[in-house]
Amino acid sequence: MRTLLYFRLDDIAAARRAQAQLGELAATAARIDGPWFFQRDDQPAEGLPAPRAAQITYLNEAAAAGLAAGALLMAWILFRYGTPANAAAGFMAYLGGMALGAIIGWCLGGAVGARIMRASLMRQKRQLATGQLVMVCACNRQSKGRLCEIAQGAGAAA
C-alpha cells in the first residue's frame, strides 16, 4: 500500500535540499517515489518535477468507483430493457454490456476525479504563503517515518 505525504517548504532552496536528500534515499530499499513540487497557484516550481494528477487528486479512486458503477448500471439496463433470444446470447450480452459500462464508467470517473483535489492537500494549499511550495512524496508504510525525518531536516514546515 502506497502512502502519499505532503510537506510545506519555505523556498526553492529548501526544495532542492529535500530533493537531493530524498533522491539518495530513493536509491535504497526504502521505495520512495518523488518528490514532486508545486506552488500555491498550481504552477510547477522552476527546475523541480511537478506532480501527476493521480498524486494530488482523487483520480484513481473515482475511476475505480466509476468502473464498478458503470458495470452495474449497464447490467441493470440490460436486465430492464433486454430480451435475450436464449441463455447463451443473454450471457454474452451481459458480459459485453458490463465490460462496455465498466470502461465508460472508468473514463468518466477518472475525468471527474481528476478535477477534485485531495482534501488534506487543499488545507495545506490554503495555508501557503507567497513563495512557499508543497512537496509530494509517495512511500510504503515502513519508510514513512524516515521520509518525514529527512523532509523535516531539509526544512519542511509541515
Q: Give pLDDT tens digits for 32-63.
A: 777 777 777 766 677 777 777 777 888 888 99
Q: Which contacts (CB < 8 Å, 24+ apart) does range 22-25 have?
A: 22/137, 22/147, 22/150, 22/151, 22/154, 25/143, 25/146, 25/147, 25/150
- Residue 73, φ and ψ in degrees, nearest 5: -65, -45
Whole-model pTM?
A: 0.72
Which CATH number does 2-57+130-153 carry? 3.30.70
Give the per-residue pLDDT at 42. 67
Contact 149, 93 (CB under 8 A): no
| Residue 29 backbone phi and psi in degrees, to 5 | -80, 10
User: In which band, very low, low, confident or very high, does the pLDDT at 149 lie, cut at 50, 70 and 90?
Assistant: confident
Would the pLDDT of 69 be above 90? yes
CA neighbor of 8 nearest in space, from 103, 122, 146, 135: 135
- Check if the beta carbon of residue 7 is closer than 8 Å to that of residue 128: no
Phi and psi, residue 15, nearest 5° = -65, -40
Beta-strand pair 2-9/133-140: antiparallel
HSE-up (13 A, CA, CB side) for residue 130: 0
Q: Supply the pLDDT for residue 60.
A: 87
Where b means 16+ CB within 10 Å and e means fewer, 119-132 reads eebeebbeebeeeb
Amino acid at 150: I
Structural contact between residues 115 and 42, judged by C-beta atoms closer than 8 angstroms: no
Give residue 25's pLDDT: 66
Residue 158: what pLDDT? 61
Per-domain residue ranges for the chain? Answer: 2-57+130-153, 60-113
Measured distance CA(12)–CA(6) in Å, rounded: 16
